[in-house]
Amino acid sequence: MTRAERIADLLLAARRDGRPIQDPPDELRPQSMEEAYAAQAAAAGRLGPIAGWKVGARAPDAEPTCAPLLEPLVFTDGARLDRGRFRVVGIEAELAVRFARPLPPRVTDYAPGEVLEAVGTLHPAIEIVDSRFAAWPDVPPLWQLADNQSHGAFVLGPGIADLGRLDGAEHAVRVEVDGAPAVDGAGRNPGGAPLRLLVWLANRLRHGRGLLAGDLVTTGSFVGIVRADSAGTVSILFPRAGGVGFTFAPD
C-alpha cells in the first residue's frame, strides 16, 4: 500500500465514522502536491463516480488546485440535505459550468477558445465546505488538498447559455441564511476569471482522464466562506446568472 493510499484510508475512516482527525500522523503527512492528488484519487475510487471537479486559486497569478466532485455528494436546487453528514457547514457562492463536449487527453495544451467552445451551460452553485480535521480551518495546505480541498457537498442551480459571465472575476452576489442576508453586494473570485481556472483544469486533466461531456466544474467562491452551521435554509443569487438553494432536513 502506498502512502497516498494510507492517507486516503485515514480520510475515509474519518468520513465513515464521523470522527474528525485530531492529530494526523506525521508519517502520513503528504510530501508534495502530487502525493496529495494521489490521495484524492485513491479516495475517489471508493467514494463514488466522479461527476466533475472543483478548481480555484488564492490569487489571479497563483497556481490553481483542484479536487473531484463525487456523484453521491452532488445535489440540485431545492435539495433537502441531512445535517448529520456534515461536521461544519461553510457556504461558498460559486459559478459552475457543465461541459457539452469532451476535452480528451492529448499532447498539446488547450487554448481558452477551445475550452469555452466545449462548455454548454453556466450555473449558480453552492459548495458546502466541511473537513475531516478537527482543527479546521487551521489545516496545513497539503492535508486540505488531500481532503478534496475541504469539500462537503455541492448544490447545482439551473443553467443558462450566457457564457460571457466566465470572463469576469467580479459579480454581484447575495447569500441568505434562514432568509436573512449574510452577504449582499460585490463579490470577487480570488483566482481571477473563471475561464482562466477552466483552462488550467483542462490542461492538467489532458495528461490523464480529460474532461468528459456532462462533467460539472465549479470555479471557486466569490464571497469567501460564510459559516452556516445552524442554518435551516441557504440560498444564493447571482443577479446575472440566477440562484440556487437548499434546506437542511430537521435532525
- For 69-82, the DSSP string reads EEGGGEEETTEEEE
In terms of residue numbers, what domain contains 58?
A: 49-249
Quote the cell numbers at residue 212.
468528459
**pLDDT averaged over 10-residue windows placed end to end, the chain, 251 residues:** 96 93 95 97 94 97 97 97 93 98 98 97 98 96 97 97 88 96 96 96 96 98 95 96 93 62
Quote the cell numbers at residue 171.
459579480
How do 74-76 and 233-238 pair as beta strands?
unpaired
Q: For residue 150, is it within any domain?
A: yes
Q: Are 220 and 55 in contact (CB under 8 A)?
A: yes
pLDDT, position 251: 62
Q: Rounded distance, CA 160 to CA 242, Å?
A: 8
Q: Which residues pair with 172 in a beta bridge?
A: 186
Q: For residue 27, is it within any domain?
A: no
CATH number at residue 156: 3.90.850.10
Q: For residue 19, is it within any domain?
A: no
Q: For residue 22, is it within any domain?
A: no
* Structural domain count, the chain: 1
Write down the pTM of the prediction: 0.96
Sign (positive/negative) of CA torsion 14, 18, 24, 29?
positive
Q: Rounded distance, CA 134 to CA 122, Å?
A: 35
